[in-house]
Amino acid sequence: MVTDDTDGNAPESAPTASDIPMLGLGTWQNEDPGQCVESVRTALEMGYRHIDTAQIYDNEAAVGEGIERADVDRGDVVLATKIWISNLAREDVLKTARESLDRLGVEYVDVLYVHWPARTYDPEETLEAFTELHEEGLIENVGVSNFLPEQVAEATAVSDVPILANQIELHPLLPQDDVREACAAHDIEVVAYSPLARGAVFDEPVLQEIAADHGVSEARVSLAWLREKGVIAIPKATSEAHIRDNWGSLSLELSADEINAIDAIETNERQVDPGFAPWN
């Protein structure tokens, strides 16, 4: 039986990794402006301090409005957005990053990601533009997303600003051990998108059993497992119930046996697999 969504045992704040709260709110597919504003506001007032969006999500304005409406100081929020693959040439990075800031209604973002190493991405040219934005104070940190170990190493070598994080699909059904090891070797944090495998975790027997034993959802088990691995998670959620349930994962502690059981799941399946991905 799943615990009540108003679980009062969750802490007031999430632990951090390199000053990034380890549980954030993802906003992919949160395209209805009113709903997006409300979900961001709700999350922030619940205790979230990490909000993730992207140019391609077409919701930066709503995300910014949600931050503005929340009774939370902007300076306390780690806000991230991503430059889309058609905008990664130097001048396009400089232009569209400013456009993102305008839509968000902020003077800077805490993390700006290269969304994919694809299309107009050129390691030296793209990351040079990110460095310029950093020097101007428009971005606090540089991030990459969907980078394989070889792209991680290359970006680290050419960027004048340290790479803070690599945002990748990561969940118990796609553990990404090789990418996590590469990031650890370069002191790069790992941020997990689709940490619930777009709902597939709810059908995994190992997670079902552990969830039942604790009286919680499979979502909480998956998020707690990621936290135990030192991975930052940004599950997307729109309803207050789901936002609250994900937040409740912060109070769940898994045993070593439970972690080992999840590690032993043999599924290795992507939910996000576009043709332009570096592994295709």
Give the residue numbers marked as catalytic: 57
DSSP state of 145: E
- Give the whole-angstrom CA distance, residue 82 versus residue 116: 9
Q: Nearest to residue 18, comparing CAs of 250, 230, 170, 234?
A: 230
Neighbours of 142 (CB within 10 A): 22
- Give the bridge partners for 166, in sequence order: 144, 190
Instruction: Write the CA distances from 156 to 76, 98, 151, integer angstroms.
Output: 28, 24, 8
Cβ-contact 226, 233 below 8 angstroms: yes
CA distance 253 to 203: 21
What is d(CA 82, CA 144) in angstroms, rounded to the nearest whole number?
Answer: 9
- Tell me what percent of the chain is helix, strand and coil, each rounded to the nearest 5: 45, 15, 40
Cα-based distances in Å from 163 to 17, 144, 157: 14, 7, 10
* Whether the Cβ atoms of residue 22 and residue 246 lie closer than 8 Å to each other: no
